[in-house]
Structure formats: C-alpha cells, structure tokens
Amino acid sequence: MEWRDEGLIIGLRKYGETSVIVELMTRQHGRHLGIVKGGRSRRLQPVLQPGNSVAVVWRARLEEHLGLYALEPVRQRAGAIMESAMALAGVNLIGAWLRFLPERDPHEGLWEMVETLADRLDDASLAPPLMARFELAVLSELGFGLDLDQCAVSGRADDLAWVSPRTGRAVSREAGAPWADRLLPLPAFLRDDEAAVPAPVEEIAAAHTLVGFFLERHVLGPRGLPEPEARRAWLLRIKPSST
C-alpha cells in the first residue's frame, strides 16, 4: 500500500539503532506514525524536527502496519522554534492536544490550523489568539464544541459576552447580566471571522480560561489527566511581563 500527503511533524522517538518513528499531523490521513530508516543521520536530523512541514510518502504491506515514511522538507521552522521558548512550548502543546484524536482519523481543518499556527509560533501578537482558536477547534473535533453563534436565552446573535459553564452556549450581555458572576467571559476574537489578528491581552487570558474549563471537563477530567505540562509552559510564556 502507498499514499502521498503533506504533514507537520509533531513528535519523534528512536527506533532501533539508526531509525526513528515520526509522528505527523497530515492533511488527509490525520495523526499518523511511520518509520524513517536512517532518521538519526546528520542529513535527516535537521529535517526531522517538530514544527517542520514535510511532503510524505507512506508505504506498508498492509494498511494496519506501522509502515515506512519517505519525507522531503517543505518548510523548516525548527531553527526559529528552538530559539523561542514560547514557540517551543507552542509546538509541544500542539502535539499534546492532537494526541487526543484517534490515530489515522482525518481532520483536514485542524491540519490547516496547525500549519498556520506553526508559521506564527514565534509571533507574540498572533500565536496566542491562534492557539486559543486551535484549542477550541480540538474541543469541537472531539465532540464537545461550544455554541457561540447565538444567545441561548434570547436567540440574538449580537453582543454575545458570556458562555454558560453548564451548557457551553453563548449568552448576550443583557441576558446574562443577572448571572454574570456565574458565567465565563466570551472574548470577541473567538467569534471573529479573521483568524490571524492580534487580540487584547485580557481577551487572550479569558479565551484560554474559557477553553481550558471545557477541555478539563470533557477531555482531561474523564480520563483522570492533569493539564498538559506543555499548556502550563505555554501560558507562562505568553503571560505579559510585569516590567
């Protein structure tokens, strides 16, 4: 069997003395693993780094086999990522969330998001809102998407300011005012059609709190898992300096 695709490297581990198992998020084949023979060579090590995008050919005798990868570099970002603590935390967080998806389950929309995010991981103004959008999309792909299109109380689609922690549905500013202390703030940029735009610091913080609440409830809590260390590192790195 053979297929060709494009993917983002999200993880690696040693395999034998000279090879590696590469974990990709691919456009058409989802999160997928394969062996790269000689992957620990000096020639391939710069290519086989998390955050790099590659063209991939996968071959195996049977579909259920791990299979072999032949990879060619498309976009090498690893150098810039390694120079930025924020970007390094970000690429680790991307991989941490993608591993909750079933292996080989296509999620082309998520692939497009991580490609965009990977290009901007070292941009302190764009990476945080893009990461919040990505986490929100992961929540949706896992079957727990939030309803942010209209107010759960009035049905109106404007001036949405809150999200109910019980239902995950948006609530307008007016309708939610009496229960504001029980609701989660809804940052405006999460509903903006323009993805790659900066957002105010307070909205970034509110977005990560909002999405983190539902990731804990629906994804981490039922599995008895703590918040990923990569997320704690990410939140620390994007926190504005007090100096």
221 with 110, same domain? yes
Whether residue 59 is predicted with pLDDT greater than 80 in this model: the reply is yes
C-alpha span between 122 and 89 (Å, rounded): 10
pLDDT, averaged across the chain:
94
Could you tell me if residue 48 is inside a domain?
Answer: yes
52 with 102, same domain? no
Domain boundary residue among 76, 111, 133? Answer: 76
Which residues constitute the domain of residue 112? Answer: 81-148+186-238
By residue count, the chain amounts to: 243
69 with 90, same domain? no
Residue pLDDT, tens place only, 191-217: 876 656 788 999 999 999 999 999 999
Domain boundary residue among 30, 53, 76? Answer: 76
Which residue would you say has higher pLDDT here, 241 or 106?
Answer: 106
Residue pLDDT, tens place only, 182-195: 999 999 999 876 65
Could you tell me if residue 163 is inside a domain?
Answer: no
pLDDT of the residue at 104: 96
58, amino acid identity: W
Could you tell me if residue 17 is inside a domain?
Answer: yes
Which residue would you say has higher pLDDT here, 63 or 163?
Answer: 163
Residue pLDDT, tens place only, 108-133: 999 999 999 999 999 999 999 999 99
Could you tell me if residue 102 is inside a domain?
Answer: yes
130 with 63, same domain? no
Domain boundary residue among 52, 76, 100? Answer: 76
218 with 144, same domain? yes
pLDDT of the residue at 193: 65
**Helix, strand, or coil here: 186?**
coil
Could you tell me if residue 210 is inside a domain?
Answer: yes
109 with 141, same domain? yes
Reported as a pLDDT band with limits 50, 70 and 90, residue 242 is very low
pLDDT of the residue at 243: 38
Number of structural domains (the chain) is 2
Average pLDDT over residues 212-224: 97
Could you tell me if residue 14 is inside a domain?
Answer: yes
Reported as a pLDDT band with limits 50, 70 and 90, residue 239 is confident
pLDDT of the residue at 197: 73
Residue pLDDT, tens place only, 8-36: 999 999 999 999 999 999 999 999 999 99
Residue pLDDT, tens place only, 34-54: 999 999 999 999 999 999 999
End-to-end alpha carbon distance in the chain: 57
101 with 219, same domain? yes
* Eight-state DSSP code of residue 240: P
52 with 88, same domain? no
Phi and psi of 12, rounded to 5°?
A: -145, 150
Could you tell me if residue 175 is inside a domain?
Answer: no
Average pLDDT over residues 52-75: 96
Reported as a pLDDT band with limits 50, 70 and 90, residue 107 is very high
pLDDT of the residue at 195: 57
39 with 109, same domain? no
144 with 221, same domain? yes
pLDDT of the residue at 191: 83
Whether residue 2 is predicted with pLDDT greater than 70 in this model: the reply is yes
8 with 105, same domain? no
Could you tell me if residue 181 is inside a domain?
Answer: no
Degrees to nearest 5, angle at CA 108 with 114 and 235 = 25
